[in-house]
Amino acid sequence: MKSPKITLLTMMVLAVFLLHQDSWNWKAAEPLVFGFLPVGLAYHAGYSVLAAIMMVVLVKFAWPKHLESVEAERGERTDENTEGRE
């Protein structure tokens, strides 16, 4: 069985994907948000912020830790190999 963390992250990605499908704002120029921004454009601005927050959450909780250790080891080996070349 999948861990609850994976299930919640998957549900979050699916919810953000479904929110991106906004067919209801295509022909509506009114009401204007903040007096100048069409509602469809304001929706997409908010969606962009939501997508950025989702990416932060995914990086924080779903980033594969083993990739970080490989990069650290490569960096240490590179430093050791270049010490005598200066």
Q: Is the pTM of this model over 0.85?
A: no
Distance CA 79, CA 40 (A): 52
The number of C-alpha atoms within 13 Å of 67 and in the hemisphere containing its C-beta is: 4
For the stretch 16-72, pLDDT in tens is: 999 888 877 777 777 888 999 888 888 899 999 999 999 999 999 988 877 777 655
pLDDT band at 81 (very low <50, low <70, confident <90, very high): low
Q: Which helix (H) or strand (E) holds 32?
A: strand 32-33
